[in-house]
Amino acid sequence: MANARRESRWAGAHVWDVPAHLVPIEGARRGVLRITRDASVAETLHSGMAREAAIGFTADVIHLPAIAQAELPPNLVPGLVRIAWDGGSPDGRIPELLRVGACLDLAPSDGALDALVECSEGGVMCRLVDLAAWTTAPEALASSLEHYLTSPRLEAPIEPWHSIARGIASRRPRDLSGTYDETLRRNYWLGEDGSVSLSERHATGGLVFGRLEDGPEGWQQSPAWRALEARRRQPFLRRSTCAFCPHYLWCGAYAADDAGSPDPAWCGVWIPLFERLQEAADIAWAEAGEGEPEEYPG
């Protein structure tokens, strides 16, 4: 019995993106649940205790005033609030974005760069979302990086550039999967229908581990889980381009197929950006008198 109980609990940090109905705040689209103690994610969700562990949620920008004025549940630990940009000008919204500790999630479209510049210079953290779509807008993607690297008025991080830059500076690699909460065994995404996947991107792609009640043991037996585990190994088993790519530490074969082969369209856009970031980091190191950063462990 003791063993069964231990097996049903996972220690460590887990991030869940849970349905909005578990986060009773007007405008919330998804809850982000972080469990850092030895707790069963399934039990936590079912017990109604989710609010105790929830540290953030995603919401529409149109609900910003309501969120800023909302009385949060007394046991909610306040954390990052991800606000989906609605395509409008953030003009006049920055104080509210700052008040709720928002991270503005920007998908590519007309006006996205202007919103990115205005918010990041106004102290609001920004994050590019839907990287596949950004890859089809390479000039805008490159401009977002140049803004991050060169703006003298930047006051807040821009993801994914900030995580990559920190990885280079600290010599602690962090790839795009880590930056976007898509790390197998660490991150989970719970659909409104109770299905469990790694992220919404993976769920949309048909990679579903099972249902909440199947638990970790069941999810790990699923074809989707095994496929994702195999995907991590494929670049090295097959000696594909990704295995020898100098940017693997930051990209992590984010857009590779099941055989571990990269998408040339992705690489053509992202490799020059990774090189630009590395170049900027090297210059910063040299100016700081630190010399060349040490090689990363292979």
Residues that bind ligand SF4 (CB under 6 A): 241-242, 245, 247-248, 251, 253, 255-256, 262, 266-267, 270-271
* Residue 157 and residue 119 in contact, taking contact as beta carbons nearer than 8 Å: no
Is the Cβ of residue 210 or residue 260 nearer to ligand SF4 in the bound state?
260
**In whole angstroms, how close is the CB of 112 to ligand SF4 at the nearest point?**
23
CA–CA gap between residue 192 and residue 275 (Å, rounded)? 40
Nearest 5°: the CA angle 157, 131, 234 is 115
Report whether 176 contacts 252 (CB < 8 A): yes
35 or 249: whose CB is closer to ligand SF4? 249
Using CA atoms of 19, 76, 124, 285 in order, give the dihedral in degrees to the nearest 10: -100
Give the CA-trace dihedral at 13, 17, 21, 27, to 10 degrees. 120
Q: Burial of 21 by CB count in 10 Å (0-12 exposed, 13-18 middle, 19+ buried)?
A: exposed
Residue 6: CB minimum distance to ligand SF4, A: 38
Q: Which two tokens stand for residue 78?
A: 């306040």
Shortest spacing between CB 63 and ligand SF4, in angstroms = 36
In the bound state with ligand SF4, the residue whose beta carbon lies nearer, of 165 and 255, is 255
- CB-wise, 29 or 238, nearer to ligand SF4? 238
CB of 42 to ligand SF4, least distance (A): 34
Phi, psi for residue 210 in degrees, rounded to 5: 145, -150
**Of residues 215 and 235, the one with the C-beta less far from ligand SF4:** 235
CB 268, min distance to ligand SF4, A: 9
